[in-house]
Structure 1
Amino acid sequence: MKMKLLSPMNDFVFKALFGREDATSKQLLIELLNDTLRAKGEDLIASVKYLNPFNYKEYEFDKLSVLDIKAETEKGERVNIEVQVKPEVSYRKRSLYYWAKTYAETIGEAEPYEELKKTIVINIMDYDAIHESKKLHTHFKLLEREEHFTLTEDLQIHYLEVPKLAEAKQIEALEGIELWIAFLKEAGKAGNEEKIERLKRRSESMSKVIESLETVSADEKLLEAYRAREKARRDEISKLAYAKKQAKIETAEKAFRNGADLDFIAEITDIPLEELREIEKRVKSQQN
């Protein structure tokens, strides 16, 4: 019986694959980075050192922390990679903030601005984040609007949008960054074993990363930490959903007390009519 693979789009699993302080993980990270940069004609990376290497014990008591990968290249450039599964309205600003914060960290207080180093932020998205483009890989820099020359090479922000990988494109026709996106999209899904085997045969990088995912998926300590993190996230989602529901109920109660129409309250709260009628009865009984 084939072992069930965990999804590499889970940030915990992603960091276990690409953020561990070992030769395989580091090599996979370099290859992923270089395929991302090569696709846009950017300078490639020869080596990296982790600034926040993966250690599952760190998340035992902080199960809701952001699990990004921070690394430094041989030139002192900074790289930040983050996986985002759920849509977030302010994500573009957040991404720019992460770039600015990381960029500022490349010099000390007494150092001149010339010592600031290029900072590359890579966002791997499991939803359509850049609505203006159909491309699965968008690349942002600081450019003069009319003549399009670069103000500085120090800013690079990449978006890799997993859902935009063309369904019709065969695995055998994928190249470079498309292969990585196919791996992120397909691995960990039930019934995809044949696709994963085909990906494995495409390149040495794909073979390595799938073997690493198999190792991560079979590690009991990692699984325990992963499950605890998932439970904490589900609990947090439930709390937020409950809080939103209570806020809607309070809005409906206030509207009924002020004499608002049932249909109007249904429109502003999105609460089903049957439930609203119960709320209306409760409000009226309290008023009597």
Structure 2
Amino acid sequence: MKENEIITIDTLNKKNDCFVRYLFSNLGNENIVLNFINSAMNNLNFSTFIKLEILNPFNLQKYLNSKESIVDIKCETDTGEIVMIEIQLQGNESFANRVLFYWANGYSLTLNKGEDYKKLCPVISINILNFILSYDIEDCHTCYVIKELKHNKILTDHCQLHFLELPKFNNNNSLKTDLNSWFKFFNGGESMENLIKENTIFNEVERRCKSFISDNPLLDAYRKKEIDEYFYKDTMKREREKGFNEGIEKGKFEQQKIIAKSLKTSGMNLEFISRNTGLSIEEIEKL
């Protein structure tokens, strides 16, 4: 993106880490994050919540200094559950291990030293992914719990790991209306007018978007994140191409060694083998 490019609500990248943290954890945005959480919970028929408290409010200076918590958004519900939300733009199947690690860390923090285990609180992890985690599952919203396989019995309600895989979303999905609107919002391309018709919380989201794009320090942080993400993807692409090309060259070399060894065993002249395989005489002698 250009440094001074004008950002509008339509062109705003809703998956930008800075923007998501602002939208979901800025004090005063509790109704927005509550709606998002309830949309995910209700979509799979879990109990929803009435209110919540944001435990790690967005702080721009801490964000710029990389001193924000490792979990993007952390909330506590009116019934005592801890909800952690993370947006992840790049990843693969190993991301599930990271989510489980963060969940375990969050779960352990619900108990103070010396307290009875009965005081442990349920921890819900909701992960917004801009990549596909499970190619063998078509659903764009999945949730994992701890259960016994043979009897399909859930061991405890203290663990929920939700994954919202944005690339899987399409208009033929079976999502309930509210979560459907959030998928459209993050993927972009849907007007606020239509989103508001589906889910009235987007009236408030629209106001927050306007506040965000009119705040120069926030926009500077947003642009920096966009640039960092661009260069990260570009670097990874170049490294993959480099690795692929190196793999091809290595494969060619190994194949030439096999041919050279076979010719050498057949008693062919080393110079002849060298001319026809590209290997040096010294390399051929070592075969």
Task: Answer yes or no: same fold by TM over 0.5.
Answer: yes
Hey, what does 1:220 align to over in structure 2? 216
* Equivalent of 1:207 in 200, 203, 209: 203
Of 4, 17, 35, 1:11 maps to 17
1:121–1:157 contact (8 Å) kept in structure 2: yes
Q: CA contact under 8 A between 1:136 and 1:164: conserved in structure 2?
A: yes
Distance 1:62-1:231 versus aligned 2 partners, 3 A rule: farther
Shift of 1:242: 6.8
CA 1:162–1:249 in structure 2 vs 1: closer, same or farther (change >3 Å)?
closer
Counterpart amino acid of residue 216 in structure 1 = F
Indicate the residue corresponding to 1:70 in structure 2.
74
- Percent of paired sites with the same residue: 26
> What is the distance in 2 between the residues matched to 1:29 and 1:65?
17
Could you report, residue by residue, the CA deviation over 1:132-151 in whole angstroms, capped at 9, with x for unpaired residues? Answer: 21112111111111221211
Give 1:28 shift.
Answer: 0.5
Partner of 1:138: 142
Q: CA shift at 1:245, angstroms?
A: 7.4
Larger Rg: 2
What is the RMSD of the two structures over their aligned residues, measured on CA atoms?
A: 3.4
Partner in structure 1 of residue 182 of structure 2: 180
Cα distance in 2 for partners of 1:251, 1:146 equals: 44
For the 8 Å contact 2:92–2:132, the answer to whether it is kept is no
Output the CA distance in 2 between the equivalents of 1:28 and 1:153: 25
Query: How far did 1:95 drift?
Result: 0.9
Deviation sequence 1:222-273 (CA, Å, 0-9, x none): 00111223334445556666777788899899999xx645799xxxxxxxxx
Q: TM-score, normalised by structure 1?
A: 0.75
User: 2:131 is paired with a residue of what secondary structure?
Assistant: coil
Structure 2 residue runs without a partner (length 5+): 1-5, 259-277
Kindly report which structure 2 residues correspond to 1:53-92, keeping only aligned pairs within 5 A, or say none. 53-62=57-66, 66=70, 68-92=72-96
- What does residue 273 of structure 1 align with? none
Q: Find the partner of 1:112 among 116, 120, 128.
A: 116
1:218-257 equivalences under 5 Å are 218-236=214-232
Pair 1:252–1:135, CA change in 2 (3 A): closer
Contact 2:71 2:84 in 1 (8 A): no
| Bigger Cα displacement from structure 2, 213-222 vs 160-169 | 160-169
Task: Give, in whole Å, the separation in 2 of the partners of 1:226 and 1:152.
Answer: 39
Distance 2:205 2:124 in 1: 22
The secondary structure found in structure 1 opposite 2:127 is: strand
Q: In structure 1, what is the Cα distance between the partners aligned to 2:179 and 2:215?
A: 27
Secondary structure of 1:207's partner?
helix
The alignment covers a number of residue pairs equal to 256
| Counterparts of 1:250 and 1:199, CA distance in 2 | 48
SS in 1 for 2:135: coil
Report the Cα offset of residue 92 of structure 1.
0.7
What TM-score do the two structures reach when normalised by structure 2?
A: 0.75
